[in-house]
């Protein structure tokens, strides 16, 4: 029987939903699991991890971990993974997870499977499904001769359960010694308080059909009612209406929310590559032949400027806001 190490992340003092998904999956696997967290959120999240059902909790609370430094994190986590005897490492396919775990995997002569959308276990081997070819196919993959199995899961793909009742001991780890060739100079905060597109459960996305940058306000209003994050097509990012961080699609972000509302987005193949994994897709477009309708669950042909404000009102009523 293997042992699973779950690397978690927290924000504003609370474990991220994506991390609760991983802990839930580890618990359900029936294999023993331990939890780890690093950085300025570690101390605050430790009690939640302790009660999650994990057998052990490991934290890296030293101020050196406050900012993500790939070299420092690689040294600390590789050491923990090796000493813990874990054979499976579950982490989120977040900005940090995707940067860090391939490097750790290389150090431990192991493989990492990133951006996974499904996870199960066949004995002590993890079996995952992951999108390839820009979401035009899915590969079912397992590990072969990888000493450690690194799995990076996309957010919002696994169910969560209330995790409580445990009382694991929390072990604090010091920062490893050694010179670093990487110096983090600054972390510039984003302007948005909302969830990142890759973590959002609902996304409202705008395209060229919105005619000008100022009309994104209409989408912001709709997103506020839904607790959604606003995305955009490549065309409007390239036009400079919104920042590149908002781009959904091939050279932007790949997203898979429960609900994706595309407003005035025609649905170029590069855009579809980034969002076709969404559970429910709503397309609002004035052109009945727009390719987005082929991927949509519900479609409305019409004037976005008329429909979106009415939709915002209807959602307000339905959600009692």
Partner 1 sequence: MKIVVCLKQVPDTETKIKLGADGQSIDTNGIKWVVNPYDEYAVEEAVKTRDAHPGSQVHVLCVGPKKRTADAVRTALAMGADEGILIDAPENLDPATTAQALAKAIQAEGGAQLIFAGKLAIDDNASSVPQMVAELLSIPHTTVVSKLAVTPESVTAERDVEGGAKEVAQLALPAVIAANKGLNMPRYASLPGIMKAKKKVLKELDLAGLGVNTVALTKTLSLELPADKPPVKMLTGDSGAQAAQLVQLLRDEAKVL
| Residues in region 123-152 near partner 1 by CB under 8 A | 127, 130-146
**Per-residue contact flags (x/-) with partner 1 for residues 6 to 45, judged by CB under 8 A:** ----------------------------------------
Whose structure tokens read 């004995």?
123
Contact segment (CB under 8 A) with partner 1 among 37-45, 53-61, 91-99, 213-221 equals 91-99
Residues 105-124 that bind partner 1 (CB under 8 A): 105-107, 110-115
Of 164 and 317, which has the nearer Cβ to partner 1? 317
Of 35 and 112, which has the nearer Cβ to partner 1? 112
Cα–Cα nearest to 6, from 47, 53, 39:
53
CB within 8 Å of 83: residues ≥ 6 apart: none
Of 157 and 254, which has the nearer Cβ to partner 1? 254
Q: What gap in Å lies between CA 273 and CA 269, rounded to an integer?
A: 6
Of 98 and 208, which has the nearer Cβ to partner 1? 98
Of 57 and 195, which has the nearer Cβ to partner 1? 195
Which phi and psi angles does 204 have, rounded to 5°? -115, 120
By CB under 8 A, tell whether 320 contacts partner 1: no
Q: How would you label 113-137 residue by residue, b for 16+ Cβ within 10 Å and e otherwise?
A: bbbbbebebeeeebbbebbeeebee
Contact segment (CB under 8 A) with partner 1 among 31-39, 56-64, 164-172, 303-311 equals 303-311
Of 50 and 229, which has the nearer Cβ to partner 1? 229
5, 81 Cβ separation under 8 angstroms: yes
Of 16 and 173, which has the nearer Cβ to partner 1? 16
Contact segment (CB under 8 A) with partner 1 among 56-64, 159-167, 207-215, 293-301 equals 293-301
Exactly one of 63, 165, 178, 189 binds partner 1 (CB under 8 A); that residue is 189
User: Which DSSP string do the residues of 236-301 spell out, in sequence order?
Assistant: HHHTTSS-GGGBBSTTSB----SEEEEES----HHHHHHHTT-SEEEEEES-TT-THHHH-SEEEE
Exactly one of 62, 66, 71, 221 binds partner 1 (CB under 8 A); that residue is 71
Exactly one of 32, 70, 166, 291 binds partner 1 (CB under 8 A); that residue is 70
CB within 8 Å of 285: residues ≥ 6 apart: 209, 262, 263, 264, 265, 266, 292, 293, 299, 300, 301, 304
């Amino acid at each position: 029987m293997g042992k699973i190490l779950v690397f978690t992340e927290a924000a504003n003092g609370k474990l991220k939903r994506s991390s609760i998904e991983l802990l839930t999956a580890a618990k359900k696997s029936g294999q023993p699991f331990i939890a780890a967290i690093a950085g300025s959120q570690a101390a605050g999240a430790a009690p939640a991890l302790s009660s999650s059902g994990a057998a052990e909790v490991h934290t890296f609370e030293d101020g050196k971990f406050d900012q993500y430094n790939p070299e420092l994190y690689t040294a600390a986590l590789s050491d923990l993974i090796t000493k813990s005897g874990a054979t499976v490492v579950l982490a989120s396919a977040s900005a940090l997870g995707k940067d860090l775990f391939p490097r750790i995997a290389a150090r431990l002569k192991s493989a990492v499977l990133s951006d996974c959308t499904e996870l199960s276990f066949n004995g002590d081997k993890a079996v995952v499904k992951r999108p390839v070819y820009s979401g035009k196919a899915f590969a079912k993959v397992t590990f072969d001769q990888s000493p450690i199995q690194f799995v990076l899961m996309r957010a919002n793909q696994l169910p969560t359960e209330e995790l409580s009742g445990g009382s694991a001991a929390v072990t604090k780890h010091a920062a490893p010694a050694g010179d670093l060739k990487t110096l983090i100079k600054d972390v510039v905060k984003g302007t948005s308080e909302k969830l990142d597109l890759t973590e959002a459960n609902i996304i409202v996305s705008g395209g060229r059909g919105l005619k000008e940058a100022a009309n994104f306000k209409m989408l912001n209003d709709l997103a506020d009612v839904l607790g959604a994050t606003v995305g955009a097509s490549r065309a409007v990012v390239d036009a400079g209406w919104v920042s590149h961080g908002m781009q959904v699609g091939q050279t932007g972000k790949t997203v898979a929310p429960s609900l994706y509302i595309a407003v005035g987005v025609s649905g170029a193949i590069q855009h579809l590559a980034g969002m076709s994994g969404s559970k429910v897709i709503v397309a609002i477009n004035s052109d009945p032949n727009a390719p987005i309708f082929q991927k949509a669950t519900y479609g409305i042909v019409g004037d976005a400027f008329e429909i979106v404000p009415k939709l915002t009102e209807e959602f307000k009523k339905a959600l009692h806001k």
